[in-house]
Structure 1
Amino acid sequence: MHVDEYPILIDQLCPGLFVRLETATDIGSLPKKAFKITNAEQIEEIRRLGIRHVICISDKSDRLPISLEELDKQADPGLSGRPAKAFKTPVSLELLGLKRETIARNKERRDRFAACEKRYDDAVSQVVGVLKKAAKPSDAVLDAAREMVDSLVNTFLSDLDVVVSLMTTKPREETRNYHALNVTVLSLMLARELGLGKSQMHDLGMGALFHDVGKGRVPIQRFTKGNMTTLNRVVREYYREHPVLGAKIVSAFPDFPPAALDVVLKHHETLDGQGFPSGLTAEDIPVLARIAAVADAYDTLCNRRDEVGFATPHEALRAMYGKKTSLDQMLLASFIRNIGVYPPGSIVELSSGLTGMVVSSSPKASFRPSVLVHHPDIPRKEALLIDLTIEEDLKILRALRPEELPREVFAYLNPVRRANYYVDTLPPA
């Protein structure tokens, strides 16, 4: 049953509700089987028909039904002729208090997130094409990269609100392509918050897109004896060289922006001089490279498995905040403000007892994101999105790790191991 239509008890009726009398064979003096209640007399007429419940159609109603909790406070449940706690509707007690605006906006939001996911998949395909051909620099590859970055930059420079959404795509083999796109998107998000101009954002986007292009297989000639100690040492050394190798690759492109090349070369330099490849200190690291470093650190933490597992978005931010000597703290503070204290992908428990996954956050209300909630009575494909900026009475109690979820809740929310982000522009609410 769709969330916009659900059964309610006769005692929950009030003027302003649009109802359908599914079980009635005779509607008496009522206008029709489906109509909007305008007065108390119509409620009494429905009661005289002897039916126990009607179907409430919320998207045609002016308000929500009287909640069961409110009825229990008003009268002794034994007097109303209804079972006190036995009756459960598909939107049940904990959801009946939601504002009509929340329920009415859900289909529109689901459609937007679906469109957003489609654009993300298309963008990943473009990244695959660009990075696979990067080893042979050409005007065509550079033009394809510019076109993609231009599209993202133009999105960010619009006057519309920006939402960073978690895309529930399945894990794929092209890990580095996901990472390249995510770092590009997150870097541009931060650049927009800082008010960078279109030219700087374009340079940043190009640098972020190619920031790991120097990564690849370790050449066999780098090994001497082939034992594991040598293997681990060579892999570490080769990893620390990838910014230089990447800069060499992109410098072969005709007219590759110098500021973008700096991002490729210097995104692993740290403010305390402990980074690589050159051990630069704060004053020698360009701001675009510092921005890319913040985005790279966040996406790497969310998508890299360690002995504990994958870091949750909330844990990733906490870990980054602890790197006070390496990451630019001003940029990090702006990043957290923009992506939210509970970033997309965070699993949270709400004060109503519901569990959900954050799908979007606004810089204007970082503690009050939009949450896709689990509810056993609502089909997964129609899962309810609750905007906490609308539902002021609800709040997040705590963040959860995915492994803490019961199996059915995990399957419903489908928290992905690889966190993907895409930028969507939404009209003002």
Structure 2
Amino acid sequence: MLQSLKIYTSDLEVGMFVSALDRPWLETPFLVQGFLLTSREQIDELRDYCSHVFIDTSKSKLLPEQARKLISAGRKRQPVEAIFPGRPIAAYNDRSDFSEEQHLADAALDSLLSDIEFIYSEAGDTGRVKVIELRKSVEPLVDSVSRNPDACLWIARLKEHDSYTYKHSLGAAIWAVSLGRQLGLPRQDLRSLAMGALLMDVGKLRIDPELLTAERALTEDEAEQMRLHVAHGVEIIENSGVINPDVYAMVAHHHERYDGSGYPQRLRVEDIPPVARIAGIVDSYDAMTSDRSHANAMSPSEAIKVLYQARDIEFQAELVEAFIQAIGIYPAGTIVELDSGEIAVVLADYRTSRLHPKVLVVRDAQKNPIAHPAAVDLSTAADGKPLAIRCAHQPGAFGIDLADAAIQGFAPTM
């Protein structure tokens, strides 16, 4: 567990907790063996006596960006093999194109969404999950994402459901498997990631439904009740005989955060199982990009920005960066405004052309609907001058429905 860091006094900042010096305390005017830096004067005085000191990260009180720098300073960048020791890591190659995979992905997600409803309903009635059925249910999803994740990522944006929990579970599973694929994790790990993501919120079956749908800020007592969904989820999967350690870790630790600010155990850095670090990222991303009772959905690119700013604060930087590589800066289904003023929906090739993806232009520069939406490859626009994305808009902006027949009818041909 990362707690004590060597810091040169030239790099000290207010909010750091000094736990040890580079010399005996009695050789300095500092009488207390351990103190919080609260002023620049203290730092200047430390510089007069010490070249470096040791900082206790658990007792430091820093702004988020300061915390990220402190954690980053205390560890080296890790390759995937070091994050997931003992697991065979190998890059995936696309084995189908978007049009080939679209129908298979659509069928896989329809079936899985139906299975999620059944599995959660049974868990609500019996307090147990049918693990064998769940394992079978995720196979088509894992197969589709393994071949080519583009179709699943696109269709996930189209799926609608009255229950936020079911849709959130499906979305989290897709993002988790896509990130696992990007990292090169073996297929059995992709299956574990899908199962763990689908079960992360199963404990909410034991939470008062009024709290789950509250459109106001929860009281502290109510928030504590909500946080108990983790313990409830662990109890349900234990009662179900789940022995997969990765699934258990995702359910038990998906709300832990890299800097120790999460719950229920306030685990930090490497104390959080790697798959649970993945779970935290995909859980947060899907929540931010979904309409909830207390918050409107962010645009995917805005959510990506939030995750990027939280690297090595709430989430491990290497995993955040891999997630962005997996889904793109402007994921499929993002509503964007071009520098021409036209409005478009991102379609395909966002993984390989992150800044210049293929889009479907659905509004003209005056934001009027286009009768016959046109496909544009932003990397090869007219007159040899590529168009650029000016900004991303919130889901549903300009009255655009991603499930509109014109868009769905076009998507398979990309």
Q: What's the TM-score bracket when you normalise by the shorter of the two chains? A: 0.5 to 0.7
Residues 271, 326 of structure 1: 8 Å contact kept:
yes
Aligned pair in 2 of structure 1 residues 316, 306: CA closer, same or farther (>3 Å)?
farther
SS in 1 for 2:298: coil
| Richer in helix (by share) | 2
Residues 360, 374 of structure 2: 8 Å contact kept:
yes
* Aligned-partner residue type, residue 388 of structure 1: L
- TM-aligned CA deviation for residue 269 of structure 1: 0.6
**How many angstroms apart in 2 are the aligned matches of 1:116 and 1:350?**
29
**Residues 286-326 of structure 1: CA deviation (Å, up to 9, x unaligned):** 11111111111111111145988421111111112222311
**How many angstroms apart in 1 are the aligned matches of 2:199 and 2:179?**
18
**Residues 137-164 of structure 1: CA deviation (Å, up to 9, x unaligned):** 668x222210122222222333x56442
Tell me, yes or no, if structure 1 residue 387 matches structure 2 residue 371: no
Tell me, yes or no, if structure 1 residue 181 matches structure 2 residue 161: no
Residues 105, 144 of structure 2: 8 Å contact kept:
no
Superposed counterparts of 1:407-422, under 5 Å: 410-411=398-399, 413-414=400-401
What is the aligned partner in structure 1 of residue 28 from structure 2? none
What is the aligned partner in structure 2 of residue 245 from structure 1? 232
Residues 356, 389 of structure 2: 8 Å contact kept:
no
Superposed counterparts of 1:68-217, under 5 Å: 116-117=105-106, 119-135=108-124, 136=126, 141-158=130-147, 160=148, 162-163=150-151, 164-167=153-156, 169=158, 171-216=160-205
**How many angstroms apart in 1 are the aligned matches of 2:201 and 2:188?**
22
What is the aligned partner in structure 1 of residue 250 from structure 2? 263
Tell me, yes or no, if structure 1 residue 254 matches structure 2 residue 254: no
- TM-aligned CA deviation for residue 415 of structure 1: 5.1
- TM-aligned CA deviation for residue 124 of structure 1: 1.5
What is the aligned partner in structure 1 of residue 389 from structure 2? 397
Residues 336, 346 of structure 2: 8 Å contact kept:
yes
What TM-score comes out, normalization by structure 1 length? 0.61
In the alignment of these two chains, the number of paired residues is 299
**How many angstroms apart in 2 are the aligned matches of 1:329 and 1:116?**
30
User: Percent of aligned positions with the same letter in both sequences?
Assistant: 27
**How many angstroms apart in 2 are the aligned matches of 1:403 and 1:315?**
11
What is the aligned partner in structure 1 of residue 323 from structure 2? 335
What TM-score comes out, normalization by structure 2 length? 0.63
Gaps in structure 1 of 5+ consecutive residues: 1-107, 223-228, 417-423
Aligned pair in 2 of structure 1 residues 386, 116: CA closer, same or farther (>3 Å)?
farther
Deviates most, 358-367 or 287-296: 358-367
**Residues 304-359 of structure 1: CA deviation (Å, up to 9, x unaligned):** 45988421111111112222311111111111122111122322122444211113
**How many angstroms apart in 2 are the aligned matches of 1:384 and 1:262?**
46
**How many angstroms apart in 1 are the aligned matches of 2:99 and 2:244?**
39
**How many angstroms apart in 2 are the aligned matches of 1:361 and 1:137?**
42
Aligned pair in 2 of structure 1 residues 384, 148: CA closer, same or farther (>3 Å)?
farther
Higher relative contact order (CA 8 A, sep 6+): 1
Query: RMSD of the TM alignment (CA)?
Result: 3.6
- TM-aligned CA deviation for residue 384 of structure 1: 2.8
Residues 207, 229 of structure 2: 8 Å contact kept:
no
**Residues 253-273 of structure 1: CA deviation (Å, up to 9, x unaligned):** 234412211110001111111
Structure number, greater radius of gyration: 1
SS in 1 for 2:169: helix
